[in-house]
Structure 1
Amino acid sequence: MSPLDVPEDGDYIIGRVIEVKDFGANLDLLEYPGRKAFVHISEVASGWVKYIRDFIREGQMVVAKVTKVKKGSKIIDASVRQVSGHRKKEKIRAWKNEQRASKLLELVAKNIKADYDILREEIRDDLINDYETLYGAFEESVINSDDFEKKWKGPWVSEFIKVGIENVTPPFVTIGGMFSLTSEKEDGVEGIKTSLMGPQAAHDDTKITIASDGAPNYRILVKAPNYKQAEEELKSSVDLVLKMLKKEGGNGSFERA
């Protein structure tokens, strides 16, 4: 981010506490160089705060919510109290990922013998516009390498993908649901087993798991790098199980969980 960037009301920011006073604390904003935030004592924690240093201290890294951006000022008002534990973890994780992504981009520049600052200036904003974060761009280069290589041009592209594959673990999503499978045939159980063994992942990076949840219920889970792929794999698996079971003389239904 450039020093000209300014967070907006409602944004979540991450900062380092540089000063604690009786009435509040000042933060250096790690994502916005040169900008600071002030957290009033009433926004440090829920409930009454008698001793502010019981809740916040110098050197501490905190996540805060922007409550007011002062026009023409480099200091914004923020609240630590309004940040949930989940939001705090997610923000810190995302910030750490961006720090890591910057290091990986440095490695890309080094490997292709390019100036890091120039390369960063040329591609970073465009990548963030498309993938929201620089780390997200590395993830996409791993998940869809061919599409990424077709979309972007320049001597950095192939090395960007290579560095991503070597250093970034792509995110995965898990979806699934429940089968209800029955058969009136004497060997109906075997027919159900056969149908459940039918689904095979169409992609190497997809995992399909089917387990009994107490007859006649069977749970299926699909783990894939993105929802589109997971949905496609789940649909084909469900269709195959129900088709095979019908062929075996049984009946079945499926419900998303």
Structure 2
Amino acid sequence: MQYSGWPESGELVVGEVDEIEDFGVFVDLLEYEDKRGLVHVSEVASGWIKNVRDHVDTDDVVVCKVLDVDQSAQQIDLSIKDVNDHQRSDKIQEWKNEQKADKWMELAFGEDVSDEQFSSVANALVGEYGSLYAGFEQAAIHGPEALEALDLTDDEREALVDTARENVSVPYVTVTGYVDLESPNGDGVEDVRAALEAAEGNGEVPDEVDLEVTYVGSPEYRIRVQAPNYKTAESQLEESAARASEAIEAAGGTADFHRDRRTDEE
């Protein structure tokens, strides 16, 4: 996706070296429509520069810092030397992610999608999440809920979610806890089974969460939660253990939640 406006001073931009002169380097901005900037020779690299081509070559992809923008003069002043290695790496990765998201838009709506629809959907995602890629990532994690506040049709939401879940690799974290479940009743096995069903959420666990309860060794059961972030994972783990405890205690039994496995140690 290319922006139709102008970059702002201080912004990092990705560009392709188009022309090299003794006084500096002309760079086509790959994220902006029909925008070109100049890196003065003094901003190409630190120290004295004998030959600009010792530092950049035509068609090189570079990350620049925007020093100044003069819209009336159609001029954008850039610096290559003011971008450190960490900033350069992060910006290139961000740019590559946006290229992926552009392709996902085509997958979601077809190569023949109109410019109007593409821009409308893309602007909605960028306005809400800051980038196309972030919008797809949120759609993959949270599903239609992530797009509820956006001015999109139901078909557009469905297309985005389906495409996101097929293509976006979402980073997940896993947390584990253990719960001991015991019941003194004659039908204590049924009490424990009911508690385990409660721990599993009875179908009410969020779509982005994978929760699994498995038998370790009487009376111990493992609760394993996989979620997009630690906060959600920990919350779901604690809620699962709480549901199991409430169910078994309502039947007259006991529950003990702990983070470390005990069976092999006792």
TM-score (norm: length of structure 2): 0.66
Q: Does 1:128 align with 2:126?
A: yes
State the superposition RMSD in angstroms: 3.6
Structure 2 distance, partners of 1:67, 1:149, is 36
Q: Which amino acid aligns with 1:11?
A: E
- 3-state SS, counterpart of residue 106 of structure 1: helix
- 3-state SS, counterpart of residue 88 of structure 1: helix
Name the residue aligned to 1:55. 55
Name the residue aligned to 1:67. 67
- 3-state SS, counterpart of residue 144 of structure 1: helix
Show the 5 A alignment for 1:15-164: 15-110=15-110, 115-148=113-146, 150-151=148-149, 152-164=152-164
Structure 2 distance, partners of 1:47, 1:91, is 24
Check conservation: 2:17, 2:59, Cα contact below 8 A: yes
Structure 1 distance, partners of 2:36, 2:173, is 36
Task: Name the CA shift for 1:148/1:19 in 2 (closer, same or farther; >3 Å).
Answer: same
Candidates 226, 230, 237, aligned match of 2:229: 226
Name the residue aligned to 1:188. none
Shift of 1:230: 4.9
Q: Which runs of 5+ in 1 are unaligned?
A: 177-194, 208-221, 249-257
Shift of 1:41: 1.3
How many residue pairs get matched?
211
Shift of 1:121: 2.5
1:135-166: per-residue Cα shift (whole Å, max 9, x none)?
A: 11110110001413544533221121111111
Q: Which amino acid aligns with 1:226?
A: N
Structure 2 distance, partners of 1:86, 1:198, is 44
Q: Which runs of 5+ in 2 are unaligned?
A: 181-198, 212-224, 243-255
Shift of 1:21: 1.3
Check conservation: 1:36, 1:76, Cα contact below 8 A: yes
More deviation in 48-57 or 131-140? 48-57
Q: Which amino acid aligns with 2:70?
A: K
Q: Which amino acid aligns with 1:135?
A: Y
Larger Rg: 2
Q: Which amino acid aligns with 2:80?
A: V
Task: Name the CA shift for 1:24/1:173 in 2 (closer, same or farther; >3 Å).
Answer: farther
